[in-house]
Structure 1
Amino acid sequence: MNQAQPKSDDQKPVEPGAGKALRITVVGLLASIALATIKLIGGIAGHSSALVADAIESFADSASSLVVLQGIRIARKPPDEDHPYGHGKAEAVSALIVCVLLLVAAVIIAVESAQQILTPHDPPKAWTLFVLGGVVVVKEVLFRVVGRVAEMEESNAAHADAWHHRADAITSVAAFVGVTLAVWGPGWFGSPQLVYADEVAAIVASGIIVYTALRLLHDPLHELLDAAPPDLLEEIRTVAASVEGVRGVEKVLARKSGPKYLVDMHLHVDATISIREAHAIGGKVRATVRERVPRVRDVLTHVEPA
């Protein structure tokens, strides 16, 4: 006995809090574009391969923020005839694209830096350190702010964007160390090879970016493959079983769509009650689960005789 699919106007609307994720992503986008431009100009003028590589990573940040913006915008659309379960998975797709952009940026940085090592060149200018120092501070602040919003909204896309900012901060730290050694290392340690520390730092940073991207792939892949955390399934099962009239909960399935989960469950009820009574129990389970489990957006029940 299936409980009818609830009408779209009876479903919980897409969370208005998603607007926070949109706003903070716009701020991150504007900051990334500004910082990327500053780093590119500074890297070229200051002869710093690490700073130029860092600028490339920041432009990748900007591209990823655009992807995240589009993903969050699409995910906020309500269900329609073609997408009865909503558009929430657009966030997971955008997070996946961000990870790919990170990997592409890492490869570009590594290749460019390796080519620079094979090409004689002047050491970077000392003033580029001030540019890098400012970038590290701004990017770390963005990571913390965007990350906090992503956690509040349970947004994989915003989470990936936050770690993109952290990756940029890490590459800037690596570049800072590399530039410092390239500028003063030969004099301090008597090793002329340290002039290439700038490029080596950029290659190290690219490795860190690869690690970050692979780490971030986990959540969006799980969402796209409809994985659900066991603790959530157990919580839903416990709440459903507590509803009066439910004799047992045979099956609980959940899939993530945006920040919330869509749930399907099979319930056992008394075989002697009427269809109307069984339907009412299913409706009560749906309402109770939605009320008591904040991560659930909607529930579809299938009622069977015990």
Structure 2
Amino acid sequence: MATGHHSGLLAIWISLISNIVLTVMKVAAGLLLSSPVLLADGVHNAGDIIATIAALTSSMISNKPADDDHPYGHGKAEVVASAFVAVILALAAFWIAYQSIRALFEPAGGESWLALGAAFLSLVWKQGLYVYTIRIGKATNSKSVLATAYDHLADVYASLAAVIGIGLGILGEKLHWGWAAYGDPIAGIIVSLLVLKLAIEMGREAVDILMEHTVSPDKLAEYEALLRSDDHVKRIDRVRAREHGHYIIVDVRVGIPHDYTIQQGHDISRKLKKLIMDFDPQVIEVMIHLNPWEASELATAP
């Protein structure tokens, strides 16, 4: 767990430094080369810095141990950051759409090879960051790292639109294609829709976790199968589980023979808890409630 948390923090720190460098590069290039698309992308990257700082802060908080005020730990801090990043992405989508639609009603400007190079460098850089952070995020199940990865993916879309738009502008000037000068805003509109879709999916997942949405039915079925594998468990009354950020909390109610001693019940509870936690490393707590079961239930069972 500690190693995974360290890897996640490193991924977010790399993302933060990269976003700062890319923001300065894009804004400077946009001003020097009079490239509206690069300037808009730079402003978008400035929003990424805020989102990454939120992810970094939440990742640090989420690893704090449980205390009296937060008996189930601080894992949901990452989910709050994920929701915040989703809002940033949604605002970025509307910003890109606004800039693109406005550009359609303005005279097309000339494009430069330097602007194309800057956009392409951003595309490659962000794609590399996305691959790196999504791998770390999935390995650690860190919501803040995954949010950072999807933020990079949105930037990949934006940079790809800039490359296509600027490239079409340069090509259009060479071949005298008047329509090609508007390739950038058209691509920007398409990208804004992709980024908005990404933001909605992230936001929905964050809200589900904050509202105590259960884990997948398949995972619940796996937990139930583990419980049934113990001969002492005669009846399963309830199996519930919820994500709490990067970890899972399981709540179980099972029936065992009513004449078992307290010590026997205690030993069975510990065994069942270990069984589930060994099976799923994401589970950090299993709360087990034991109910009495009588053999007569077999005779009355349908």
Aligned residue in 1 for 2:194: 208
Residue 68 of structure 1 deviates from its aligned partner by: 0.8
Residue 108, structure 1, aligned to residue 95, structure 2: yes
Q: One-letter code of the match for 1:107?
A: F
Give the distance between the partners of 2:11 and 2:177, measured in 1 at CA: 47
Q: Answer whether contact 1:47 1:125 (CA < 8 A) is retained.
A: no
1:225 aligns with 2:211: yes
CA distance in 2, matches of 1:108, 1:218: 21
Other structure's SS at 1:86 match: coil
Question: Is this contact kept in 2: 1:102–1:164, CA < 8 A?
Answer: yes
Residue 127 and residue 287 in structure 1: after superposition, are their counterparts in 2 closer, same or farther (change >3 A)? same
For residue 102 of structure 1, give the secondary structure of its aligned residue in structure 2. helix
The Cα of 1:27 is off from its aligned counterpart by 0.2
In the TM superposition, 1:83-162 aligns within 5 A as: 83-120=70-107, 122-162=109-149
Query: What's the secondary structure of 2:72's corresponding residue?
Result: coil
TM normalised by structure 1 equals 0.89
**Equivalent-residue separation in structure 2 for 1:248 and 1:15 (angstroms):** 37
Secondary structure of 1:228's counterpart equals: coil
Identical positions, percent: 28
- Show the counterpart of 2:63: 76
> Relative contact order, CA 8 A, sep 6+: which one is greater?
1
| Aligned equivalent of 1:251, options 235, 238, 252 | 238
Three-state SS of the structure 1 residue aligned to 2:66 is coil
Give unmatched runs, 5+ long, in structure 1: 1-13
Q: Which 10-residue stretch deviates more, 234-243 or 87-96?
A: 234-243
Change (3 A) 1:141 1:190: closer
Per-residue CA deviations over 1:157-205 (Å, capped at 9, x if unaligned) read 21121121121112111111111222331441442x4333333333332
TM-score for both structures, normalised by structure 2: 0.90
Shift of 1:50: 1.6
Report if the CA contact (8 A) 2:168-2:180 is conserved: yes
For structure 2, the residue ranges without an aligned partner over 5 or more in a row are 294-302
Which residue matches 1:63? 50
The answer to whether structure 1 residue 27 and structure 2 residue 39 are counterparts is: no
Q: Does structure 1 residue 264 correspond to structure 2 residue 251?
A: yes
Q: Which residue of structure 2 aligns with residue 53 of structure 1?
A: 40
Q: Which amino acid aligns with 1:183?
A: I
